[in-house]
Chain A
Amino acid sequence: MLENYFFELVNKMGGLDILIYSAGIADKSGNWENELQQHNVNAIGFAAIANAAFQYFKLNKFEGQIVGFSSVLAYRGLSQAQTYCAGKAFVHNYLQGLRHTSKAEKLNIHITEICPGFVQTPMIENQTNTFWVTPIYKATQQITKAINNKKKRVFISKRWELIKIIIQFIPDCILYNSFLNGLIFRKKEMFSVRS
């Protein structure tokens, strides 16, 4: 069903070169309705659109590019952010799978994963103690550069890759009491805001 509408839209546009899925929401309430909504937007919605785009490129043997937004938080399940972390991990793995499929089937479909840290958008306006905040203009420049260069993955900004490495490999016993808990706490406060 969605695929048909997606193809209809693409036909109206006269083709498609790049699909960018930047949608993502977060909520810390723990309420199931809100959590389900997060899954639907962050994971199911993403998969539905990415799948439709992939099929469009594949069936028509077109060159194309699919860009998804995961997060630094895609690499570890963190306190009170399990839904968001899980959704972003889904995006990360889904994109990785699409990339491998594209290579295995010798398709000309490029897959790009964007991993943002803090970006200066309205959702962090009222936040305190944020750090390494990337101005929106700079973030857009870095994202579009990565898309133009058909990068596999890029962190926004680049130094957020360091946080990703720490989050990914730090042992649980240290993570529980580390400054990263504070980071996540501040991060989760943003979760009531659409991201």
Chain B
Amino acid sequence: MQKIIIVGAASGMGKSLALFYAKKNIVAVADKNITALQHIFSDKIASDLICEIDIYEIENARKLFF
């Protein structure tokens, strides 16, 4: 089982990729990346980033996106 991180799953392409890979892999999706990354070097956002990134297996990915 491959372990994959997808950053930027807010776009249609990211969702599609996440769903594709979530069928047989562990996928972590970083959503709301704009908010997280625009202040990527600030402590606040850095500590929030791990909250916005979570680990989703297929069922959770489906719930997230559809």
Contacts and interface: CB of A to CB of B under 8 A. Distances in A.
B40 A2 contact: yes
A137 B30 CA distance: 21
Interface string B3-30: 1111111111110110011000010101
A22 B3 contact: no
A94 interface: no
B35 to A, nearest CB: 10
B10 to A, nearest CB: 6
Interface residues of A, number: 44
Contacts of A14: 3, 26
Nearest to A5: B50
A20 B11 contact: no
Contacts of B64: none
Contacts of B9: 22
Contacts of B8: 21-24, 69
A57 to B, nearest CB: 12
A195 B14 CA distance: 10
Contact of A19 (B7, B33, B34): B7
A21 B29 CA distance: 10
Contacts of A41: 33-34, 37-38
B10 A1 contact: no
B55 A48 contact: no
Contacts of B47: 5
A25 B6 contact: no
A119 B12 contact: yes
A69 B12 CA distance: 13
A143 to B, nearest CB: 7
B66 interface: no
Nearest to B43: A1
A5 B12 CA distance: 26
Interface of A: 1-2, 5, 8-10, 12-25, 36-37, 40-41, 44-45, 48-49, 53, 69, 116, 119-123, 136-137, 139-140, 143-144, 194-195
29 contacts: A5-B46, A5-B47, A9-B28, A9-B50, A13-B3, A13-B26, A14-B3, A17-B3, A18-B4, A19-B7, A20-B17, A22-B6, A22-B8, A22-B9, A22-B13, A23-B10, A23-B33, A23-B37, A24-B11, A36-B38, A40-B39, A45-B7, A45-B40, A48-B41, A49-B7, A53-B5, A119-B13, A136-B13, A140-B20
